[in-house]
Amino acid sequence: MLTFTDRAREMVLNFMDQSGEDLRSLRINVSGGSPVAPSFELTLVEDSDRTEEDLHVDAGGFTVVVDQGSAERLEGATVDFVNRVNGSGFEIIPAGPTTTGAPSSSVPKGDLADKVQLILDEQVNPSIASHGGQINLVDVQGTEVFMEMTGGCQGCAMSRMTLRQGVERMIRQHVPEVTEIHDVTDHAAGENPYFAD
């Protein structure tokens, strides 16, 4: 159901040891977010905090406790512990292929999605194609948009600036009903960034 990287497992066990309490279970709750960027919460809990409705998964040294609603979204996911410039913490990587080359049936539908896709197709992607990059619309939730950068944009040192100063500005100008734009790219997996760090 759920896989932990060695680093994530080590960090969970360290936190359990440091707690000074008998906390041998880790509750994971998924609450909202996008299918490619779930919002989640990890909490150390006592065995007595488990319920009969929860699913219990042995993660090697501790038990993962998941409610039924979260279990579906965590199926096949990987839990990692990452260190980044702006901080470190746990990250859940959903199962399944990335949206690169995804079939058109998985493309977000609706008026807002159509407007954003038009801007990407006509203005954004033609301008970043010279860098070998592309930006895909992967999800729309209400007025929030989730995008993934691929090709030369994935892992590019200038990707944040490209998204915030170029793409976001363009989309907000032409589609003002968009309230939030999220980058759900796994930049660490970029194999051919246009500008390397």
- Domain residue spans of the chain: 2-93, 104-189
Most confident of 29-43, 58-72, 100-114: 58-72
User: How far is Cα 132 from Cα 27, in angstroms, rounded to an integer?
Assistant: 41
Domain 104-189 has CATH 3.30.300.130: yes
The pLDDT value given to residue 35: 57
Q: Is a pLDDT exceeding 80 seen at residue 159?
A: no
Domain 2-93 has CATH 3.20.20.70: no
In terms of pTM, does the model score above 0.85?
no
Mean pLDDT, rounded, for 66-95: 77
Q: Determine what percent of the chain is predicted with pLDDT higher than 70.
A: 73
Radius of gyration of the chain (CA): 19
